[in-house]
A and B are shown apart, each in its own frame.
Chain A
């Protein structure tokens, strides 16, 4: 276990080595969060800022946008997919088979380290700064606040597992480029990062509510805002855990299949 903690720590520290990039990234993230809030201000201005749309106020949507920036801001699903694609292309993957370590667990440790790094240096400062400008609602209740944290933790693990699952398919396609873009497309639309499902038309809304991608952004945020009752919160936590378990088994199964059919072409 200590080996994986060491991987996570070294991933955290290796990012600190490029201090100039820390500032560039904070600036980039700040612009992104401001912009997302600006979009909601603009659409609500069109219907009258005090109007409730589908029962949702402007202040709730600003909070949703800020939370989305926090939940998704520190993860890089494309990094996991590209890392697998790169080790496949260069032949590094064969080295992992020689080591008494699990490659998927190494990837997870690595991603956890950089997640923590980005959370502390980029996400918290930028979201807090933007919240000072536009205001942010507190969680609906203590229960919803605590459950938001649980949903967020699940979101991070599920997103990692889904990215790793996508990345491992590269063993059959021999390229990770299209997998990365297709996964990005699904995440764009069905995670709820850009538009929450309560604004979706039917039957797209029902479809989106039952796909695993909604657990990445939509459900953590909806729980925070109190859009899910206590019973619903527990129910969807169960559904989310089911998806997480399914992808966990899926990743282990794919990795086992993949490691028996590796054809190293480079190195």
Chain B
């Protein structure tokens, strides 16, 4: 364990150095991502300028939701997405086997040697927007509500990373996992909007099978006192417990998938 902890900072350091090799290109990519998410937010702003509310949420509330969803996603995905998406390729080519024979946890190696600092663009946009939205929203902040907000953000980050890890780990069993990521992102885009606007089938999926609503409109809605479909008064506690719970599920799933791994190439 101690040996792992000593190596991890070195892995991260090496990866950051390699990513920053082309500094100009790195920051150009970040700018492009900020513009891309900015344009999605601008569309929401244009819509709200004309209609004033969306599912009972006004513009500052939706801005808070958008920034929370983006920040939780980018922090969680930095710990998982690119690394686990590429696991499919490692399995297909047989290079995953070389990780299994290292005297080091394959998961820790994969995640930390690829810790994605590319999400810094998402984080810059989300934090700036969040700073404005927390002031603009009509809400009396207290110590407790601020603590809930931070705890919900951590839980959402863990939940995002856990779901992505579980999807990626299925490549160990089925070799392919990228079409599941396509479904994941289809649902993820919906979570920029309040849960109550969707048909009940989609609401149910977003709380259970692909619980991305728990990383967005459920915690933010619980904070702002919005009615939450299906969960009702349980929305707050459920969003706090969901992250740690899904991490345990993801650990169990990773172990199961590793047990099933047979190798596909080489």
Chain A positions within 8 Å of B, measured between CB atoms, are 18, 20-21, 24-25, 27-29, 31-32, 34-35, 38-39, 41-47, 53-54, 173-175, 177-182, 184-186, 188-189, 194-195, 199-201, 204
Contacts and interface: CB of A to CB of B under 8 A. Distances in A.
B51 A53 contact: yes
Interface of B: 22, 25, 28-29, 31-33, 35-36, 38-40, 42-43, 46-47, 49-56, 176, 179-180, 182-183, 186-187, 189-190, 193-194, 197-199, 202
B50 A184 contact: no
A25 B182 contact: yes
A35 B29 contact: no
Nearest to B178: A21
A181 B32 contact: yes
Given A21-B179, A175-B25, A194-B43, A53 B32 contact: no
Nearest to B35: A185
A207 B35 CA distance: 18
A38 B197 contact: yes
A201 B198 contact: no
B38 A185 contact: yes
Given A21-B179, A24-B180, A177-B32, A34 B202 contact: yes
A175 to B, nearest CB: 5
A31 B190 contact: yes
B32 A178 contact: yes
Given A35-B202, A46-B51, A181-B36, A189 B31 contact: no
Contacts of B202: 31, 34-35, 38
A182 B29 CA distance: 9
A52 B176 CA distance: 48
Contacts of A43: 47, 51, 53-54
Contacts of B198: 34-35, 38
Nearest to B190: A35
Contacts of A31: 183, 186-187, 190, 202
A28 B189 CA distance: 11
Contact of B43 (A47, A53, A181, A189): A189
Given A41-B197, A181-B35, A185-B35, A46 B53 contact: yes
A195 B28 CA distance: 27
Contacts of B47: 39, 43, 194-195, 199
A204 B182 CA distance: 32
B92 to A, nearest CB: 14
Nearest to B28: A178
B46 A199 contact: yes
A186 B43 CA distance: 11
A116 B156 CA distance: 39
Contacts of A39: 47, 54, 193, 197
